[in-house]
Structure 1
């Protein structure tokens, strides 16, 4: 007996099925005689629907058994086999004969536990997942992004798995990198020459065949101590030179968490904007201007080690600084230094150099880090700060306006991606009217969200955020895009180093000389309507009213030929006075019919709310969006225990990270059996939202008829869902 077999036998012994299938057997007892019959007539009386219904009920019962979470299988645990089977039985071509032995054993009181579990695994192995639908409407593939997490603890193991995919290929060793990103510092090259010459002269030179005091073993603590000592000496040697004043200082707090992270994060070394900060200061990621990662071994200069670590820090900096367009950083692996830039396409780096062999380059890098302008560090110069106020100047309808920014509403916590940021604002021409400024980095191949929103506003759609202004952002007189503006047109090709290579579409586009998905453009949109997230609705009745009105807004968009495609918890808002609710974010929306994909490489959405069919690669339909409304309400009922009262991460947190097929199985396993669904809502819905369980189950029945994935579009479904939500608002059991 192998160790795996022994473990399996021990789990079956320690966690018996016992009476766990009694309810299933009682309900489906009549099926056993037909399954065991040798009569052709008896077998013919068994329809696929009968077997499917029985398998759904059996799966629900098996998933509730403790052994399902502990029994090992080829997919990890047998629970995943059951979920795989749930997906497979909804396929039109599924062979139900494969499950008859399992049903027969499960219905027989005399069957051994081991026999039942073996047949579960066999049935799952023989089944095949649903075939991806090929459509004339080409699908744009999904991209998994760290900005799409909902109610997540952001543990490092989960973040790293997604961050690797988000970053994609890292372009390393780019010639001309230093000139591109440090060339804007006035007098830097001449100053570096002079300072390095001063370092090599005198009775006790700082540099003599290497830096004086450099620790031979490159131990992190020793290198940190050396950096803290050498950097002030370098800046002191530049005091009399014609350089911009030093506006930041180094900080080393590797053992103290930096504030502002969702989960605890520490930083080896950095340059900070607060000149008074010291080792005892409690620093926030909003103060970190340049992040550094130290490794003692030069061999750590790889994707799996230093590069991913520094990318993780860059994500925190971008998330905490609402005007940051990109982040400079560095890695120091032993004496090998590499300078990085992380932006909304991923990461690029300089050529690697040995600081003990090229001391002049090290001097230029340190002086540049300390004296770079805010713009050269990646801050948005179009958002102007005067005293305590920030504003944007625009020209609208032939008149100049000044849009004053009041506060951040939302900043996506991602590195590469759209990186949407929203601010509450007002115009100097009408201070009493609240506005929302939305910045996002969008693929140039995509339809401009501003143009689409202006179109639907002019058409009079209801319960959708209204258009005010939009523009492409310009920096230094040119379009603020990643390829040309942020990366200064550096040649990336031939310098890709990553085991995770993206697949680019071969379709040509007219909107960019680069291939699809190889550039992002900084676009700005200003909206009339300001609101709060739907989960902050002040009562259960108000929440249902908000969902009803958002559905009405969705229907209004659809009537104008607009398919939203990104219904999620952050895209459904309710006004501050709670008189009306509305939909936002048309970045992924398309006009119907669309004959071909946009050419953009990826679609990004909040995975927890994606429809099962969308996860499986089906052509996106309005039915998928309506299903997403269901998942948003389902999620709120689990994760909130009152208006805006977040309960924190739950066991459903994994929905943020799981692969598409696994997430599809998990979701289908949640809704494919009413008995299991009601048991699950009783266990996981918060006390405050438990009165909505019956209504949510009613919506489940409407969206998943006969406990199955829908087979064809139902044009009446939106109206049916609205009617159910309206009825819920008058249900005394809910109020």
Structure 2
């Protein structure tokens, strides 16, 4: 296995806006079980000692079907890069000129046996030559990025060691990786069980370490066959494969595209801005614009496909004494919005529940940010490995959850809610759910909720007395929420918070996370009032 990455050189990383996620606290490790029989996503490995074989097994389930051979893939992601087509044609023409051309019935210096180390050296040298040849056609310097691989050394920043059998002497962190690539000498390794899954593993690490990364582009080269990949919150997609020694122009365009793509084209969230050593977002609230300064990353789910919840501690510019929490997640569009429910709860005066400050569907240049837009309208039904039976919706007899409660059946063809995917009752918090285990054609929408209460998990209480007092406050919050007609349904040690900071104006203790909450129906099918409907609302608790 040979792995190649395009990355930023270290001196420039200091000027970027990306925050490296620190590993969780040791005392948190003991509170989670690494693997259970109900484990469906890799986010559950975040606070455990990871084992490669276990991560691979669960990641395979998380990613589901990885669709390959999609036409228009290159145009969709590389067509956005300014001047790329013209420059690639000119550079490739130069590659075929001279007494010793770089390309003549194949690339000069290509290792005939596709030996790993030889291919790596060839790739690195050719990438540098292509970048140099392209300097006349692009004002943006390409020396900021270069290929990297590390022989038998783990990339920094992963909970599990990722030993990469490749490359030249260099050290970097996953937060610096822009484009992961997987090289294998055998063309037959171009399969889901080999090169594809390996690349998915690296995409997971990149997404986990870069808190505003929305998607990751990458590539595989098996023998001389290359594919371009895109990993997002629904899984992985790939282009048609092509032989780099036969389609030299496409290879040039791919390498230059990776070198020239701007941050948004590489998958970073453009709603985050960096200036004067700070990161911030801007929102329009109550008719005026507000700038929210990012203080730190609180949580980043370690997964590819799923809700991928990320939380930041923040404050309004000029008001550092009032903490805010920004929560981003990728939700199924048919799910009710947590932000709207929180706004209702706050307006009703519910106590000891995180209070609403703002919510929105994230907009990218005036368009809802969702996976379908990220994919540029690519249709998985055009994939070479697409099978209609993989995309059939679940049986209509399966229940569907809505904000109004659960019903025993749904109309034929309606997809199950994400809160029920893979299980009749929720076993765990689905920060990353099994998005394509059944192969259903789906979408996820990028939603943002901002809260004006902040605390720490209840198990971090300074004393038993404080712990009991906080637990009592959380129970009061749950009761207050029930009186407002809403059932939380996701009580866990991470959703019960304590506030022991005398300078923090938040509740002394509070419940958070209404992702799975529903409105109770007080009148059942039989017409009997004062009890839950026959849809059987349930309460989930995890300790």
Show CA shifts across 1:105-145 (max 9, x none).
xxxxxxxxxxxxxxxxxxxxxxxxxxxxxxxxxxxxx9822
377, 388, 408: which one aligns with 2:277: 388
Provide, for residues 562-591 of structure 1, a one-character-per-residue CA deviation record: whole Å limited to 9, x for no partner: 222333332222124287221111112222
1:185 aligns with 2:81: yes
The CA deviation at 1:449 is 0.7
Cα distance between partner residues in 2 of 1:544 and 1:149? 29
What is the match of residue 376 of structure 2? 488
TM-score (norm 2): 0.79
| Alignment length (residue pairs) | 453
Counterpart of 1:527 in structure 2 is 451
2:69 and 2:385 in contact (8 A); partners too? no
SS at match of 2:283: strand
Which of structures 1 and 2 has the bigger CA Rg? 1
Q: d(CA) in 2 for partners of 1:620 and 1:190?
A: 62
1:260 pairs with 2:157? yes
The offset of 1:268, in angstroms, is 5.8
Q: Which residue of 1 aligns with 2:13?
A: none
Gaps of 5+ in 1: 1-83, 85-141, 270-277, 597-617, 633-735
Residue 569 (structure 1) aligned with residue 475 (structure 2): no
- Please state if 1:556 is matched with 2:462: no
- Separation of aligned partners in 2, 1:422 and 1:362: 38
Q: 1:201 to 1:264 in 2, by over 3 A?
A: same
Q: Is the 8 A contact 1:565 1:620 kept in 2?
A: no
SS in 2 for 1:239: helix
Q: Which residue of 2 aligns with 1:318?
A: 207
Question: Deviation per CA, 1:168-210, whole angstroms, max 9, x where unpaired?
Answer: 1112111111111011111100111011111111011111111
Deviations 1:651-696 (A, max 9, x none): xxxxxxxxxxxxxxxxxxxxxxxxxxxxxxxxxxxxxxxxxxxxxx
Q: Name the residue aligned to 2:316.
A: 427
SS in 1 for 2:245: coil
Query: 1:371 Cα shift?
Result: 0.8
Q: Is the 8 A contact 1:145 1:162 kept in 2?
A: yes
Please point out which of 105, 129, 145 is paired with 1:209: 105
1:103-118 maps to which residues of 2 (within 5 A)?
Answer: none
**Alpha carbons of 1:435 and 1:150: their partners in 2 closer, same or farther (altered >3 Å)?**
same
Residue 193 of structure 1 aligns to a residue whose secondary structure is helix
Who is 1:160 aligned against?
56
CA drift of 1:150 comes to 6.2
Alpha-carbon distance between aligned partners in 2 of 1:256 and 1:160, rounded to the nearest angstrom: 19
Greater per-residue strand proportion? 2
SS of residue matched to 1:441: strand
- 1:362 maps to 251
Distance in 1 separating the partners of 2:139 and 2:72: 22
Question: Which of 96, 118, 122 is the aligned partner of 1:226?
Answer: 122
TM-superposed CA distance for 1:561, in Å, is 2.2
SS of 1:261 mapped into structure 2: coil
Structure 2 counterpart SS, 1:202: coil
**1:175 lines up with 2:71 in the alignment:** yes
Please list, as runs of the form range in 1=range in 2, the aligned pairs for 1:255-404 lying within 5 A after superposition.
Answer: 255-267=152-164, 279-404=168-293
Q: Which has the higher contact order (CA 8 A, sep 6+)?
A: 2
Residues in 1 aligned to 2:187 and 2:523: alpha-carbon distance in whole angstroms: 51
Aligned partners of 1:344 and 1:415 also within 8 Å: yes
Give a deviation string over 1:459-517, Cα, whole Å, max 9, x none: 1112211100011111122110101x2001111114264899476345348x9xxx987
More helix by share: 1
Distance 1:433 1:307 in 2: 46
Residue 423 of structure 2 corresponds to: none
**What is the alpha-carbon distance in structure 2 between the residues aligned to residue 158 and residue 549 of structure 1?**
39
Contact 1:550 1:572 in 2 (8 A): yes
Alignment check: 8 A CA contact 2:489 2:516 kept? yes
Contact kept, 8 Å, 1:533 with 1:570, in 2: the verdict is yes
- 1:537 and 2:461 are equivalent in the alignment: yes
The separation in 1 between residues aligned to 2:80 and 2:353, in whole angstroms, is: 43
2:496 and 2:509 in contact (8 A); partners too: yes
Give the drift of 1:621. 4.4
Structure 1 residue 252, shift from structure 2 partner: 1.6
Alignment of 1:57-72 (within 5 A): none
3-state secondary structure, aligned to 2:379: coil
Distance 2:129 2:449 in 1: 47
| RMSD over aligned Cα atoms | 2.6
